[in-house]
Amino acid sequence: MANESQSQNSAAFNEGTRRDKGKDAQKINILVAKAISNSIKSTLGPRGMDKMLVDEFGNVTISNDGATILKEMAIEHPIGKMLVNLAKTQDTEVGDGTTSAVVIAGELISKAEFLLDENIHPSIIIKGYKMASERAVEIFDSISEPIVLEDKELLLNIARTSMTGKAFEYSSLLSKIVIDSILEVNTKENLDFDRDSIIIETKLGSSLSETQLIDGIVLDKEIVHPEMPKDVVNAKIAIISSALEIKEPETDAKIQITSPDQLQSFIDQEEESLKNMVDTIKRSGANYVFCQKGIDDLAQHYLAKEGIVAIRRVRQTDVEKIAKASGAKIVTRINDLSDKDLGTLEHIYEKKIAGDNMIFIEGLKLKKYITILLRAGSEQVLDETQRTLNDAICAVISALKVGKYVAAGGSSEIEVALKLRDYAKTIGGREQLAIEAYADVLEVIPKVLSESAGLDAIDTIVNLRSKHQDPNNKFVGIDVLGGRLYDMKELNIIEPLNVKTQAVVSSYEVVEMILRIDDIIAAFAKNKGPMMPPGGMPQMPGI
């Protein structure tokens, strides 16, 4: 009967389909999750190490940002992709804590493997993990402290903590720029927390110390014609999404010209068409044009003669920002342009930065934008610092949105872990084992931090547990740079509450999905190998 059932089961799938069931499927998924988690664990904390990633074209990315590393690793395994999406979700929602989220998920899977070996059913583990994650969120909230927009020093500390270990030498300068940018676009009367209001524009050359804050929008573009004005006050803005060029036919076409007069007539018609475009712009009253596409050389000439400034091939995102700031409408057909479509900007000028011209737009009326003009001496430093600034901005905005922060350095994780163990005793049953395992998982954060600080991990965790028995020591964590246990709040090492809670919630959801899988059916085309080789060892491209 068993052979007959197996035969019927195999007949249900195409030839060559590979199937792993039960514990074999679970072990494959657990192995993949642990491998990915371990690959980025060493990047955690202020002394976390960087990863160098080289893609198939030889492009190099150096980073210790979890989301960036996982994205560049080109992971193909479905479980790996789930963890990549976990990092993306953490990055999108709160902008920081991506490494912590993936490490926690990997450790939850690792602990689940031990519980499965003890013959505890996956549904029991999932139930215990769910209870623990919900309770952990409550405990994190109970040990948090309030923060408001006026607490500039606290906001600075959150920004510094976010970027510690990434741009440490310039963290004071960059954190001040981050806070100033947020306070410029958010006031007590107008709290919109729009991340898009803060633009990061990069320019290679000089050093990070030359990074500056510009009250307005900066474009890495230049004016298209040397005879156009370089500095315009009270500019009338036209935004055009189509090209100021003669359109080529969409299909192959042949024009037969049999005489010089016909050729001249053809050229004259093109010139006339371009001149009509420029005349339309002039009649509208515009003296500054932002064009998303190209501008013909002859059109540039006519625009310059009329004293109209033009910028070409402006990015869609920049065009939308300029439209919001000026009140201009984005026009698709030039012939439809009128004075009703124009916007106004107080001051636009061209300035040379690192040998290249850039456009500075200041005096925005309708929508506030702030630009951080980031400078660095190498492409890799520029890219990594841009990611660092983005994380810091998102972290501070997250703290303001939720209005609370917690102590960092592993102090909050230890506090939550201790309270979770007390909670587990009130539950009983097999779920208690899963809750206790969850508490152990949270301690992986201070454990990794202690290792990077050169401390003995086991002794450090034991000492932290002992200190946190006293309610007055709930902020004691690991001072990684000082290599000691210390009050994190006193050292001003703090993080937004939702960086912790989002990591806890998201990691549980991913782990739940992984643990529910007990059957892997992998179909592949003929003459192609399986996604997983015999023996259950998963193929791990990019790791």
Q: Write out the catalytic residue numbers.
A: 65, 98-99, 391
Asked if residue 341 lies in contact with residue 328, where contact means CB atoms within 8 angstroms, the answer is yes
Asked if residue 44 lies in contact with residue 449, where contact means CB atoms within 8 angstroms, the answer is yes
Q: Please, what's the b/e burial string for 206-236 (b: 16 or more CB within 10 A of its CB; e: otherwise)?
A: eebebbeebebbbbebbbbbeebbeebeebb
Distance CA 61, CA 468 (A): 40
The continuous run of DSSP H or E covering 288 comes out as strand 288-291
Asked if residue 359 lies in contact with residue 208, where contact means CB atoms within 8 angstroms, the answer is no
What count of other Cβ atoms lies within 10 Å of the Cβ of residue 537?
12
Distance CA 374, CA 60 (A): 20
Phi, psi of 34 (to 5 degrees): -65, -40
Question: Closest Cα partner for 190 from 400, 390, 405?
Answer: 400
Distance CA 530, CA 17 (A): 8
261: alpha, beta or left? (left if phi > 0; alpha if psi -120 to 50):
alpha
Distance CA 101, CA 114 (A): 21
492: alpha, beta or left? (left if phi > 0; alpha if psi -120 to 50):
left
Structure token digits, residue 541: 């491209």
Distance CA 65, CA 524 (A): 34
Question: Closest Cα partner for 158 from 494, 502, 501, 498?
Answer: 494
Q: How many CA atoms lie within 13 A of 289 on its CB side?
A: 38
The continuous run of DSSP H or E covering 371 comes out as strand 370-376
Those residues whose C-beta lies under 8 Å from the C-beta of residue 297, and which sit 6 or more positions away, are none
Distance CA 91, CA 51 (A): 18
The continuous run of DSSP H or E covering 19 comes out as strand 18-21
